[in-house]
Amino acid sequence: MTTTILLLALAALVILVYMGKTYGGIVTATGFIFYAWYDMGPEDMAFFKLCAWVAATVAVVVAIPALRQKIISRPMMKIARKTLPSMGETEKIALDAGSVWFDGDLFSGSPDWRKLMAYDFKKLTAEEQAFIDGPTEELCAMIDDWQIAQERDLPKPVWDFIKKHKFLGMVIPKEFGGLGFSAIAHSEVITRISSRSVTAGVTIMVPNSLGPGELLTHYGTKEQKEHYLPRLAVGKEIPCFALTEPHAGSDAASMRSVGTVCKGKFEGKEVVGIKLNFNKRYITLAPIATVLGMAFKLYDPDKLLGDKEDLGITCALIPRETKGVTIGNRHDPMGLPFMNGPIQGEDVFIPMDWIIGGAEYAGKGWMMLMEQLAAGRGISLPSLSVSAVEVGVRAIGAYGNVREQFGIPISRMEGVRETAASIAGHAYFMDAVRRMTCAAVDMGERPSVATAIAKAYLTEGMRKSVNDAMDIQGGAAICRGPKNIFARGYDGIPIGITVEGSNTLTRSMIIFGQGAVRCHPYMQNMVRGLTDNDVAMFDAAMSGFTNHMAKNTVRSFVYGITGGMFITPPKGSKKQAKAYKRLTHLSTNFALLADMALISMGGSLKQKEHISGRFADALSWMFICASALKRFHDDGHKAAHKPLLDWTLAYGMKHIEEALHGITRNMPSRVVGLTAHALIFPFGRRYELPCDKLVSKIADSLFDPESSVRDDLTGEIFIPSANEPSLGMLEAAFKAVTAAAPIRKKVDKARRHGKIVKADVPTMANKAKELGLIDDKELKQILAAEAARDSAVQVDNFDYKAYSNMR
């Protein structure tokens, strides 16, 4: 009887912890223990009395907040202060910036799939769609990327068109003369233009991202908005924003540009203003900018503004012609000729009302930048990345059928098919992530962790997929000229990888470093409780943390040994139920491992970038898989897209599992690592990369002219006309070869039967005509198709003089 009661106590504890009621489980188990006391023999009574009273004491302490705070929380605060690293003001601002969205669900271990699937993501308005179908298409048709590369700038007609149609004012509200577009419309425009020219895409994305327009819209004074925003919208003012310096790159907060509050002459009057000295570099649009957004550290040594000397990072607007500003030189970022260059300033005096937001926003620049970066980082570079990969899908889907080697289209070769399937899979999930992050911004969120994931992992996806596409195209991909499809996009890859926080830093420090505080359901309040010496806040957060970790410990183990039997997928997802269950299990494993790392390593986790990088991988691939599931759901569960979804899930879950396995193997404490491994991988690892059968399905759909998949995956990019070199010519050849395929079959059949000797296709086609196997019309059609094929596989060449002048 005693054994039964004790087993009931254990079962009650496990069940209640699984349900997230850890303290309730302790109290209930204690009750069972006391009940068992009465069924105890005299020989066991003394030891059992001791255990029962210890359990009762623990139950009382943890159940009564006042006691718990005095006996447990206060001592724990002292320990935690020694363990956790000190946090500077800029770091606090960065951690507080933005908001938590579905990334928080994934971090918690209990993602609410019903909530995600119920979100009604914003669609393009009729006005936005008309802009994409009209001015955006017109602009793309005007752009000649080879011409831009040679002339080292956008042609004047292109600049005029951009300004006239307010491409530089997409984020500026209509009331100030801008277009007032949604995030998804902004992204669609950037994606389409970038597919035509990276230089044009960057030129347009920068004023619509982190810059004066965005900062003025959210923080500017009434006078600043009314003066600048209408002029920025139509290109009368060209903005740039100067943040990066020689000694402050990804660590922008360590900038050395300094402003000192002082008195000086402005327009003939003595006023309180700021004397600035700065040295900025890598500033896009700087060579042609008429108004400079400037970030600097502001000091008030004479306390003209108040009692504080170190006011902090501040942002101001400075007209180009201001005395002391040196501007105009250009950098050459990977040979891409978008305007980019340095800015210097020596003893530049500006009035206080040039601070964005006015004097009251002195020292609030870092907050402004972090808040806007939390949103903008998820739009510009992810859109450019998606455009590059979709161009790869479009080109390789056509090239695989047009290009023949060893007497067959290369689309039949398994090595080509495997690589092409990877490009298609990346295109599917990358666009899903782009849609997801844009939707969050359009919902009013500033999801700093989610947008960091989008920036880092989509630019990495671009790097892999463009390289893969060039590998398939071979020599034609590496010879520059008007016919080259990939060279300029390839040149732009390192730029996307580097800017807005290098991917190395974003992966190893930002995603999990920020996520551990922002996305964790209790960590931020624990840190605030410590910072503010608020015992009640710390106690509530620590209690929640304990309950959270205990719950995920039980769930992780139970899910592992039952295969997720007790996980309930969202309604209407029967065919994807396994995917939802597996991702929930992986999310639970991630949450448990994160808690174990936070407890065992404390503040030293901040320096364990190998570990935090793997956590970033796991969290990011969970977000990517969730985005793909949401896309499949919102697209109406298209059967043709199911292999792409399955490929994404297999590829993503394998990466998640490997990341978690790497963490358990490399925990500084082997006891913690082995314990975590036993809980998370009770039967070892279980996931595999996409199988050959799945790869074959995707390749079939990509290379099949009758399939809609190629069009579905490339709906956001510009398709050039047939008379243009590069992609336009390849598209025309693909259509011609496809149309002539039945005639080619007749010719090939005659060759196999020995009626025609093997030769080049035009020779065999003429022989087939002589034998009456095809008619005149068919002969003309197949010869035209072969001529188009021949043109499409040619590469550019230049005479000595032309080559010497080529850029």
Tell me which of 603 and 215 has the higher pLDDT: 215
- Tens of pLDDT, residue by residue over 97-129, are 778 899 999 999 999 999 999 999 999 999 999
Which residue, chain included where needed, has tokens 């995030």? Answer: 183
> Tens of pLDDT along 125-171?
999 999 999 999 999 999 999 999 999 999 999 999 999 999 999 99
Model confidence at 55, pLDDT cuts 50, 70, 90, reads low
222 alpha-carbon distance from chain centroid: 34
More confident residue, 777 or 514: 777
Q: What is the average per-residue pLDDT within 191-206?
A: 96
Q: State the average pLDDT over residues 292-304.
A: 95
Backbone phi, psi, residue 311, to 5°: -85, -20
Give the 3-state secondary structure of residue 506.
helix
Q: State what percent of residues in the chain have pLDDT above 70.
A: 90
388 has a pLDDT exceeding 60: yes
Confidence of residue 49 (pLDDT cuts 50, 70, 90): low
Please tell me the distance from the alpha carbon of residue 285 to that of residue 210, in angstroms, as a whole number: 13
pLDDT tens readout for residues 240-285:
999 999 998 877 778 999 999 999 999 889 999 999 999 999 999 9
Residues 6+ apart with CB under 8 A from 746: 768, 773, 774, 778
Report the C-alpha gap between 747 and 775 in whole angstroms. Answer: 12
Residues classed as catalytic:
500
Task: Report whether pLDDT(21) > 70.
Answer: no
Please give the angle made by the CA atoms of 723, 724 and 730, to the nearest 5 degrees: 90
Q: Which two tokens stand for residue 790?
A: 């021949």
**pLDDT of 38 over the 60 cut:** no
CA distance 408 to 397: 15
Residues 250, 502 contacting (CB under 8 angstroms): yes
| β-bridge mates for residue 350, sequence order | 274
Q: Would you report the helix, strand and coil content of the chain in percent, each value rounded to 5? A: 65, 10, 25
For 490-526, how does the pLDDT look when each residue is reduced to its tens digit (9 = 90+)?
999 999 999 888 899 889 888 888 877 778 888 888 8
Q: How many CB atoms lie under 10 A from the CB of residue 422?
A: 21
459: number of Cβ within 10 Å: 25
Q: Which of 215, 275, 267 has the alpha carbon at shortest distance from 239?
A: 215
Q: How far is CA 782 from CA 169, 302, 361, 401, 703, in A?
A: 49, 84, 70, 15, 20
**pLDDT for residue 42 is more than 90:** no
More reliable by pLDDT, 78 or 591 = 591
Give residue-wise pLDDT tens across range 358-382.
Answer: 999 999 998 898 888 878 889 999 9
Kindly give, in sequence order, each residue whose CB lies less than 8 Å from that of residue 296, ignoring residues fewer than 6 positions away.
Answer: 255, 257, 258, 259, 276, 278, 313, 314, 316, 365
Model pLDDT for residues 639-694, shown as the tens digit of each residue: 999 999 999 999 999 999 999 999 999 999 999 999 999 999 999 999 999 999 99
Asked whether the predicted pLDDT for residue 25 surpasses 60, the reply is: no
Q: What is the pLDDT of residue 30?
A: 52
Q: What is the pTM of this model?
A: 0.91
